[in-house]
């Protein structure tokens, strides 16, 4: 039985999120054991009485096999925060969602991503900026993240696709509930050239309470957030707030002081967000200007078995070439040649004195 069934089960219990899921894992070792445990053990694991009672009641009603079959029928993949294919950027935030429901697949390119968000009631100015910015990012190999809403979000997704790039759409509903409904065709295109992602179980309706958590995932999946247009009560400002909490860069497109749709973005700038005056400044600020070159070299010269072996050895802490040679049992010439090629591809960097460090996960440490 796939253990992800138990993750899906616990995901439907109100009051069990990231923190309590980790408590269950720490106490029981895995969620299958936790699912079968008694009330006393659950309390010892750190669940409050109210949540324990809710779980015991719902456990009798939830058919894990039936739930799993539904997920398969909907062609939805389930990724937990313990799996290697869970997005690294999102995994780095405080309390990442325990379970993600996805259609499509994440790639290494998505570690270099920018959120483009804004009001549903866009102006012609906001539309023009969103189109040009999203196309610019996509043409530079940067994944565009947004929330699938009407207005700026939809324009950002479509423009990234038009430029031949990738885009990630974060839902405030289950993945089987397309909202707004007119974006059904767009969602299919994104699935092919990006990822549809939600933390909400299939069937969940797009209720207002779901959108702040959705916004938190948008910023969590991104290295930076650009707010194109927003009035003073726009949900895009919530995304910017989460971005600050997650130590992401926040950019805002300045607008007329007389324009209602620019009041929110102008306020962000007043409060410390960087004004987006030139698209290239965004790349420079995020050390992304060489990412397109990295992607080209990686596509021309993809990872081979030896490089994959070395990447499993070289992690965040610098490792001397002699240690790498000792672990692999390979000759100095072979290891050196592979490391030179991996450095060219942007997978590793030399930190001095024949020390090497992995940078392929997020491209964060590469210095322009």
pLDDT digits (tens, 9 = 90+) for 323-335: 888 888 888 888 8
Reported as a single tens digit per residue, the pLDDT across 15-30 is: 888 899 999 999 999 8
Q: What is the pLDDT at residue 339?
A: 82
Q: What tokens were used for 277?
A: 């005056």
Angle formed by the axes of helices 152-162 and 184-192, to 10°? 40
Burial 279-298, CB ≥16 within 10 A → b, else e: eeebbeebbbeebeebbeeb
**pLDDT below 70 — which residues of the chain?**
1, 288-303, 315-316, 344-346, 352, 359-368
At residue 360, the pLDDT reads 45
> How many other C-beta atoms can be found within 10 angstroms of the C-beta atom of residue 94?
10
Gap between the Cα atoms of 56 and 13, Å rounded: 10
CB 169 within 8 A of CB 197: yes
pLDDT of residue 129: 93
Position 316 scores a pLDDT of: 60
Dmax over CA atoms of the chain, in Å, equals 68
Distant-in-sequence, close-in-space partners of 158: CB < 8 Å, separation ≥ 6: 186
H or E stretch at 36? helix 31-36
Q: How high is the pLDDT of residue 297?
A: 55
Which residues does residue 103 pair with via DSSP β-bridges, in sequence order?
196
Domains of the chain: 1-70 (1.10.150), 108-285 (3.40.50.450), 291-358 (1.10.10.10)
How much is the pLDDT for 3?
86
Which pLDDT value is given to residue 78? Answer: 94
pLDDT at 110: 87
């Amino acid at each position: 039985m796939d253990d992800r069934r138990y993750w899906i089960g616990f995901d439907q219990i109100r009051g069990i999120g990231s923190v309590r899921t980790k408590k269950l894992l720490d106490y029981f070792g895995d969620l299958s054991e936790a699912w079968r445990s008694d009330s006393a053990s659950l309390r010892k694991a750190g669940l409050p009485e109210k949540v324990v009672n809710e779980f015991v009641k719902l456990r009798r009603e939830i058919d894990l096999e039936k739930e799993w079959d539904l997920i398969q029928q909907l062609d939805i993949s389930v990724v937990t925060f313990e799996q290697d294919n869970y997005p690294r950027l999102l995994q780095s935030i405080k309390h990442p969602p325990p379970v993600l429901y996805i259609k499509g697949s994440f790639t290494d390119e998505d570690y270099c991503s920018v959120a483009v968000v804004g009001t549903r009631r866009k102006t012609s100015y906001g539309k023009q900026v969103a189109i040009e910015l999203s196309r610019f990012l996509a043409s530079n190999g940067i994944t565009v993240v947004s929330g699938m809403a009407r207005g700026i979000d939809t324009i950002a997704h479509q423009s990234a696709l038009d430029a031949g790039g990738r885009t990630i759409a974060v839902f405030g509903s289950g993945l089987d509930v397309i909202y707004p409904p007119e974006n059904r065709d767009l969602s299919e295109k994104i699935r092919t050239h990006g990822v549809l992602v939600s933390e909400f179980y299939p069937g969940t309706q797009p209720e207002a309470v779901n959108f702040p958590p959705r916004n938190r995932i948008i910023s969590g999946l991104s290295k930076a957030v650009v707010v194109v247009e927003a009035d003073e009560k726009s949900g895009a400002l919530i995304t910017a707030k989460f971005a600050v909490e997650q130590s992401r860069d926040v950019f805002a497109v300045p607008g007329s002081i007389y324009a209602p749709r620019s009041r929110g973005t102008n306020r962000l700038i007043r409060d410390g967000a960087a004004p987006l005056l030139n698209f290239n400044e965004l790349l420079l600020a995020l050390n992304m200007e060489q990412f397109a070159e990295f992607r080209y070299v990686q596509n021309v010269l993809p990872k081979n078995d030896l490089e994959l072996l070395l990447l499993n050895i070289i992690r965040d802490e610098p490792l001397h070439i002699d240690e790498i040679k000792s672990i692999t049992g390979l000759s100095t010439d072979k290891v050196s040649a592979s490391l030179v090629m991996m450095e060219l591809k942007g997978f590793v960097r030399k930190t001095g004195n024949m020390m090497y460090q992995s940078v392929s996960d997020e491209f964060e440490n590469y210095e322009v």
